[in-house]
Chains A and B, each alone.
Chain A
Amino acid sequence: MKKRLSEKIKFKIIAFYLIILIAFALFTTPLNEILPGYKKILFSTDILISDYIKIGGLGSAFINSGLLGLIALLFIKINKTKLNGLSIAAIFTISGFSLFGKNTINVIPIIIGVWFYSIYQKENFNKFIIPALFGTALAPMVSQIASIFNFSITGIIFGTLLGIIIGFIIPPIASHVIVAHEGFNLYNIGFTAGIIGTILISVFRAFNFDFQGHLIWSTNFTKPIFIFLCLYFTSMIIIGYILANQNNQSIKNLKKLWKRPGRAVTDFVISDGFPLTLINMGIMGLAYTLLIILIKAPLNGPVVGGIFTIVGFSAFGKHPFNTGPVVIGVLLGALTKGWTLQNPSFILALLFSTTLAPIAGFFGSISGIIAGFLHLTVVGNLVYLHGGLNLYNNGFSGGLVATFLYPLLDGLKKER
């Protein structure tokens, strides 16, 4: 049996990577600029696409990212949840989206809503910690309602109430919709939040309330972020390598990890151990950072958020060989549809399309390329449905594409 790392060591390592985000913020931005910037972040509408680096500055955005990541980590520890691949994915996803849409105010009502659901079910809250953390995808709903009332007490009360209702309904829907795509869309809560968002916005529109998406997108911090991310992800590879050596785990076993299809539940921490998972996370982070630079796109809040989400899910299903074909499909889509590679929606689709990695891992590269191509086509049509209030719009698209493709590919696959 594999020697497993203690929860204590895993906790320390993940905490280190979140504290480093705060250290980067303090290193790049004076404290007297961070606090006013952070206030701007807390009181923004957060609708897609809201780059916190542009809204509050580089330091404030990274402080928010590190802080929310740490809160998620502490939340996991307090609730005695294991640091497995899924919880690591949740931490890095929250940390990433805290660069463009999640903040300490708008996520709390949703978590409270999930807590109420656990009380209603007479179950321990730790059973629902995954939908509680990922469910914060709909955090902009809270901010948006509060902003309609200019962040007055009335607005905050209404926003909070809506957030609690959303949190309450997320867990049963999330665990049910997963059957539709059979675990081939890794961002399952994105699919869930897309459905909830679509229904809620339809109700709002019926009463003449509508929300307009916007584009707040910074382009001038690519260099410092690039240097930081290269060091950040390289250190993951080095620490993973040292831990693998200390625990007598051969680096050659990475090949085994890279052969896994990645369909949920493929938890690399459970199946391959934490050290190899950390190496995979570092490699994926580096690869996708370099891809962004290669296509001459900027590194900003949403883009780094996308990279962090990939890194998180590289503990839970993603690796270079199942994400590669999907990304090629998205790039082919851009070529045939005449998209520029620096288009913000395209860049986000490119990164988040990797939610469909299990399609490539399970049905092969051609299927993965088709999935990526379809994803780029579908994702642009969905923002209207939920009014830009579901931060995991690509997860919504991934859910639809996987639900559409899985039965087709399954039908074509020969019986074993």
Chain B
Amino acid sequence: MKHEKMKLVKLLDEILCFSFIHDATEMNINIKMDDEKYIIQFKDNSKGVSKERIENIKEMINVEKQPEMEEYYWELVGQQDYNDEFTLVGLMSDKASIHYDPEKGLSLTLYRNFKKNNK
């Protein structure tokens, strides 16, 4: 898959944008890779994110992966520092989970499958 690593970097850009917008001062990224997928684990101490907003993000990141949207729009991900829509994050991920604790912050895990021969 072309630009696979760049797409991963873009996904992280989008998540980091969200954290900065929500005044996070500490962020931790953990990336694991096996033969068929990447797992991105992200934690921060972002503040003031409403329950409704988290529900909305949960819905967006759990949208079924849509390769045609990814291929056409991936260069836009994380491109804009006002935007924290997460729509493209969902469209580019195979599986995702999100948890938000007002005291501790955001915890997000993304799974992205790839074709081994082209990674």
A259 to chain B, nearest CB (A): 13
Query: Which residues of the partner chain A approach B64 to less than 8 Å between Cβ atoms?
Result: 82
**Chain A residues whose CB sits within 8 angstroms of the CB of B1 once the complex forms:** 123
Contact across chains for B87 and A182 when beta carbons are under 8 A apart? no
* B58: chain A residues within 8 A (beta carbon): 1
- CB < 8 Å neighbour of B63 from A174, A270, A362: A270
- The answer on a CB contact under 8 Å between B67 and A124 is yes
Smallest beta-carbon distance A119→chain B, Å? 14
Instruction: Mark interface residues in A124-140 (1 if CB within 8 Å of B CB, else 0).
Output: 10111111000000000
Question: Which of B63, B67, B70, B73 is A264 in contact with, Cβ under 8 Å?
Answer: B73
- Interface Cβ pair total, 8 Å cutoff: 82
Interfacial residues of chain A within 301-327, with CB under 8 A of chain B in the complex: none
CB pair A126–B67 under 8 Å, yes or no, is: yes
> Do A127 and B68 touch across chains, with their CB atoms under 8 A apart?
yes
Q: Tell whether, in the assembled complex, residue B2 and residue A121 are in contact, meaning their CB atoms are under 8 Å apart.
A: yes
Task: Compute how far the CA of A280 lies from the CA of B91 in the bound complex, rounded to whole angstroms.
Answer: 23
- Counting contact residues on chain B (CB < 8 A from A), the size range is 20 to 34
A178: CB under 8 A from chain B? yes
Chain A CB count within 10 A is highest, among B68, B71, B76, B82, for B68
Q: How far is the CA of A130 from the CA of B82 in the complex (A)?
A: 26
CB-CB under 8 A from B62, the residues of chain A are: 1
CB distance from A53 to the nearest CB of B (A): 32
In the assembled complex, the Cα of A415 lies from the Cα of B95 at a distance in Å of 33
Q: Which residues of B contact A171 (CB under 8 A)?
A: 71
Tell me if A178 and B87 are in contact (CB < 8 A).
no
CB-based contact B72/A174 at 8 Å:
yes
Q: Are A265 and B88 in contact (CB under 8 A)?
A: yes
Measured in the bound complex, the distance between the Cα atoms of B66 and A65 in whole Å is 27
- In the docked arrangement, what's the CA distance between A106 and B75, Å? 30
Question: For residue A183, which residues in chain B have a CB less than 8 angstroms away from its CB?
Answer: 73, 76, 79-80
Closest A-chain residue to B73, C-beta based?
A265
In the complex, the 5 A-B pairs of residues with the closest C-beta atoms, listed nearest first: A127-B71, A127-B67, A130-B72, A129-B68, A179-B75
30 contacts between A and B (CB under 8 A): A1-B59, A1-B62, A81-B66, A82-B64, A121-B2, A123-B71, A126-B67, A126-B68, A127-B68, A127-B71, A128-B71, A130-B71, A130-B72, A175-B75, A176-B75, A178-B72, A178-B75, A179-B76, A179-B79, A183-B79, A263-B80, A264-B73, A265-B87, A265-B91, A266-B85, A266-B87, A267-B69, A270-B90, A270-B91, A271-B60
Name 8 extra pairs, CB < 8 A, besides A175-B75, A183-B73, A264-B73: A86-B69, A122-B118, A127-B70, A171-B71, A182-B80, A183-B79, A271-B60, A416-B82
